Amino acid sequence: MKINKEELATINAVSAGRLETEFNHLAGRLETQGVDIKQLLQNLTAFQVAIPSWALGAGGTRFGRFSATGEPASLEDKIDDVGLLHALTGNAGAISLHIPWDNPGDFDAIRQRARALGLVFDAVNSNTFQDQPGQAHSYRYGSLCNSDASVRKQAVEHNLEVIRIGENLGSKSLTVWLADGANFPGQYNFQRALDRTADSLKQIYAALPDDWKLFIEYKPYEPNFYSTVIQDWGTSFMLANMCGERAYTLVDLGHHLPNTNIEQIVATLMYRGKLGGFHFNDSKYGDDDLTVGSIKPYALFLIFNELVYGMRHNPENPSPAWMIDASHNIKDPLEDLIQSLEAILEAYAKAQLIDQKALRDAQQAQDVVACQEILQDAYRTDVRPLIQKARQMNGAAIHPLQAYRSLEVRRKLTESRGRESRATGL
C-alpha cells in the first residue's frame, strides 16, 4: 500500500488554514525572543528517526500476544510499512534491521524497494540472545562472554555475517546488545566474563569496515535476572574505549533502573565523544518498551536539552543515531510509532527553544529558580504548530495519525495481507 501525495494534499487542505494562523502566531512570538525559526524548521525537517524492523507487528510478553491484523510478514512488507510512516510523518526515513529476523533474500530488490520509498538502512542488529534452528552451539550460558571458546567463535562469526549483510544494504553501523549474564550468584566470574566479552568485541571491531561504527548497547537485567555482563553505561563506555575510536555507547531509554538520571549519562558520554545513538521508548518500571513520551515526557525533554547542548559543544561526538525500539502489546504498531515520532520531534523542538545563554548566566549566578524557569518556559511552549509546519514542508501529513485513520490504512493492509499475517520480531 502506498500513500500518494494528492491524497495527503487533500487531507492537509482541511487544516492548512488553521496551521498558518497558529504557526504565524507562535513563530512571531518566538522570533521576538531571538529564536531562529528558519533554522529550527530546518532541524525538524532534517531529523530522521530509524524505525525498528522488529516493531512493525504486535509485540507480546510471556503472558501473551494480541495480534494486530494485516501485520507485515515479510521484509518487503516491513519496508512498505516504514514507507507509509515516512510518507505520513516525513521523519521516518530509515529502517534498522535485526538479523536473522529480517534476513534480506534479494539485496538488490530490497535496496531498490527502500530507495523508492526514500528510506536508507540504519544500524543492523545482531542476535546472539536466541538459538536458531540447526545452530551448532547454544547461547543458553551466553554468547560473546561464554566460557566455551567455540560458542564465542560462533557468536563473533554471526556478528561478522551481520556486518556483511549491512554492507550490502548500505548500512554504516552495527548494534550489539548482549543478553549475556547470570541468573544466580556464583554462576560465572565477573572479570573473566567481562574479559572474554571484551576480547570478542575487539574481534568484531577489527572486522568493521573503515567507515563503520560499533554501537554497544547496555541493559541492567532481562533476560538474566542476577547479572548482565554489559549492565550499564560505564561498562559499555569502558568496552567502547577498549575497542577503539569508532566504538560507541548506545543508550536505550528503557535500559535503566528506576529514577536513573539518563540526561546526565547522555551529557557524560557526549563529554567524551562516545554517545553513538539512541533506542527511544518509555517505561514506568523496567524495559517496558512503551510509546516514547507516554510516561516521562519531561525526562525526554531534559535528555534533548543535553543533546542540543552536546551537538553545539562536543564536535568530537558524531551525530547520534536516532532509532526507536518499542514493542506494541495493545496499540496498532503504526499508530504507536506515529505517536513516538511526534513525542521525539516535540522534545527536540522544545529543547531548541531553551535560551542557553540565559540558562548559562543563571547557572553562573546560581539563580536556581531562574534556571528552572528558563527550562520550563521552553517545555511549556506548545510547539505542535512548528512540527506540523515542518511536516507540511516535508510533503507529509500535518496530522499523521488523523490521516492514517481517515485513509483506513490498517483496514487496507488487513485486506491485502489477511487478518492472520504475522510479523517476525519480538
* Residue 426 interface partner, choices ligand LRH, Mn ion, none, CB cut-off 5-8 Å depending on type: ligand LRH
Contact residue for ligand LRH among 102, 217, 336, 346 (CB under 6 A)? 217
In whole angstroms, the minimum distance from the beta carbon of 217 to Mn ion comes to 6
Contact residue for ligand LRH among 279, 328, 389, 417 (CB under 6 A)? 279
In whole angstroms, the minimum distance from the beta carbon of 97 to ligand LRH comes to 11
Residue 368 is which amino acid?
V
In whole angstroms, the minimum distance from the beta carbon of 255 to Mn ion comes to 7
Nearest Cα to Cα of residue 122 among 272, 265, 250: 250
CA 211 to chain centre: 21
Helix (H) or strand (E) holding 262: helix 262-271
Rule CB under 6 A: is residue 54 a binding residue for ligand LRH?
A: yes
Rule CB under 6 A: is residue 125 a binding residue for ligand LRH?
A: yes
Quick one: cell of 358? 540565559
DSSP string spanning 274-339? -EEEEEE-B-SSSS--BPTTSS-HHHHHHHHHHHHHHHHH-TTSPPPEEEE---BSSS-HHHHHHH
Residues that bind Mn ion (CB under 5 A): 252, 279, 325
In whole angstroms, the minimum distance from the beta carbon of 60 to ligand LRH comes to 13
Helix, strand, or coil here: 341? helix
CA separation (Å) from 287 to 106, 192, 221, 373? 34, 27, 9, 32
* Residue 54 interface partner, choices ligand LRH, Mn ion, none, CB cut-off 5-8 Å depending on type: ligand LRH
Rule CB under 6 A: is residue 426 a binding residue for ligand LRH?
A: yes
Residue whose CB is less far from ligand LRH, 129 or 271: 129
Helix, strand, or coil here: 255? coil
Rule CB under 6 A: is residue 290 a binding residue for ligand LRH?
A: no
| Burial of 337 from C-beta contacts in 10 A (0-12 / 13-18 / 19+) | buried
Rule CB under 6 A: is residue 328 a binding residue for ligand LRH?
A: no
Residue number closest to ligand LRH, CB atom = 177
In whole angstroms, the minimum distance from the beta carbon of 215 to Mn ion comes to 10
Contact residue for ligand LRH among 102, 325, 342, 346 (CB under 6 A)? 325
Contact footprint for ligand LRH (CB under 6 A): 54, 125, 177, 217, 219, 252, 279, 287, 325, 426
